[in-house]
Amino acid sequence: QINELGTNNETDATTEFRNYKESELRGKLHPIKEQANLSKHRILCALYTYDKHHPTMLQAAVNTWAWKCDGFLAASTLTNETLGAVDLPHLGNETYGNMWQKTRSIWGYIYDNYLEDFDYFWLGGDDFLVYVENLRGIIEDHESNPKDNPENSNEKYIPVFLGQHIPNMGSHYCGGGPGYVLNRVAVKALVTMSLPSCSVETVVSAEDRFISNCFRSIGIPCGSVTDVNGRQRFTGMPPKQLATFRGDSDRFYSNVYRYWGEETGRFKWGLDSVSEQLSGFHMLRYPPFIHRVHALQYPRTCPPDSVVGRALSVSSKKSF
- Condensed to tens digits (0 to 9), the pLDDT of residues 14-27 reads 222 222 223 333 33
Q: What is the mean pLDDT of residues 73-80?
A: 97
CA distance 50 to 79: 10
Please, what is the average pLDDT of the chain? 84
When mean pLDDT is compared across 68-77, 96-105, 187-196, 232-241, the lowest value belongs to 232-241
Assess whether pLDDT exceeds 90 at residue 47: yes
Q: What is the pTM of this model?
A: 0.83
CA distance 311 to 146: 42
Assess whether pLDDT exceeds 90 at residue 219: yes
CA distance 54 to 82: 10
Given a contact cutoff of 8 angstroms between Cβ atoms, the answer to whether 135 and 43 are in contact is yes
Q: Where are the alpha helices (DSSP H) in the chain?
A: 22-29, 59-64, 99-114, 132-139, 184-189, 207-216, 239-244, 251-264, 287-297, 307-318
When mean pLDDT is compared across 128-137, 174-183, 204-213, 292-301, the lowest value belongs to 292-301
Q: Across-strand partners of 87?
A: 76
Q: Across-strand partners of 2?
A: 20
pLDDT for position 300: 75
Using DSSP's 3-state secondary structure scheme, residue 176 falls into: strand
pLDDT for position 38: 55
Assess whether pLDDT exceeds 70 at residue 61: yes
CA distance 88 to 12: 9
231-250 pLDDT, tens digit per residue, is: 999 999 889 888 888 877 77
Helix H or strand E segment including 183: strand 171-183
CA dihedral sign of residues 297, 207, 72, 180: positive
pLDDT for position 311: 66
CA distance 137 to 133: 6
Give burial (CB, 10 Å; 0-12/13-18/19+) of 60.
buried
CA 233-238-239 angle, to 5 degrees, is 80
268-295 pLDDT, tens digit per residue, is: 787 888 899 999 999 999 999 999 999 9
